[in-house]
Amino acid sequence: MSAASREAGVNGIPSDGLPVSGRIHHVATVVRDLDIAVKFHAEVLGLPLEQIADVPSQEVRIAFLTAGDSKIELVAPTNSTSGVARFLETKGEGFHHLCLEVADIDAELQRLAATGIQLINAVAVEGVEGPVAFLHPKSCHGILVELIEAPGGPAWKRLGYGDPAQLRIR
Ligand code: ZN
């Protein structure tokens, strides 16, 4: 990304204490039973539960727990044929993806595509916590990388999100 476009992305975000671009938004793990895993993370590890959501398009149920300035996402398949179900079957429970926050996700995807990074999503799609896109592990040293746009960025408007402050009670 040129200095000019990076500035444009950062300038798109209000400066009232919003997260810095590039922080780890969340780390996601695949679990067999969401309720059991939530109970462990909340009661044993002591992480506050933020939300549980169904994601029919991905055939999963997910939970977000707060871990300091970042989060942990737990992902459980809702059937035996989804991509996550196959992951669980072949690899078992464990690390699934790393999510980094960016100021302008579509600009970032364009920049990455121009450098030859293999994108799973060429443009941002609607995620539970904001606009998201995945980068292929083959281009990321074996790690499935998710990008998420910081609240109030340009893709929030394009995808029809409401006020970011309302997101947690959707
Ligand atoms: Zn995620």
pLDDT digits (tens, 9 = 90+) for 56-88: 988 999 999 999 999 999 999 999 999 999 999
**Which own/partner pairs from 1-4 qualify as long-range (CB within 8 Å, at least 24 positions apart)?**
1/107, 1/108, 1/111
Dist. CA 143 → ligand 1 center (Å): 13
Q: What residues have a C-beta under 5 A from ligand 1, the ion?
A: 28, 73, 99, 146
Assess if CATH 2.40.50.140 describes domain 20-96: no
Dist. CA 50 → ligand 1 center (Å): 14
Average pLDDT over residues 1-17: 41
Dist. CA 124 → ligand 1 center (Å): 13
Would the pLDDT of 5 be above 50?
Answer: no
- CA 152 to each of CA 87, 115, 128, 143: distance values in angstroms, whole numbers, following the listed order: 33, 26, 15, 27
Dist. CA 27 → ligand 1 center (Å): 7
Poorest-pLDDT segment among 8-17, 39-48, 81-90: 8-17
How is residue 16 written in tokens?
């009232």
Residue 24's pLDDT is: 95
Dist. CA 51 → ligand 1 center (Å): 13
Please report which confidence band the pLDDT of residue 15 belongs to, taking 50, 70 and 90 as the band edges.
Answer: very low
Average pLDDT over residues 40-57: 96
Q: Pinpoint the residues of the chain covered by CATH 3.10.180.10.
A: 20-96
Dist. CA 2 → ligand 1 center (Å): 27
Dist. CA 99 → ligand 1 center (Å): 6
Task: Tell me the pLDDT tens digit for each residue of 112-169.
Answer: 999 999 999 999 999 999 999 999 999 999 999 999 999 989 999 999 887 665 554 4
Task: Report pTM.
Answer: 0.83
Q: Among 134, 133, 168, which Cα is nearest to 151's?
A: 168
Poorest-pLDDT segment among 19-23, 40-44, 63-67, 134-138: 19-23
Chain position carrying tokens 């408007």: 157
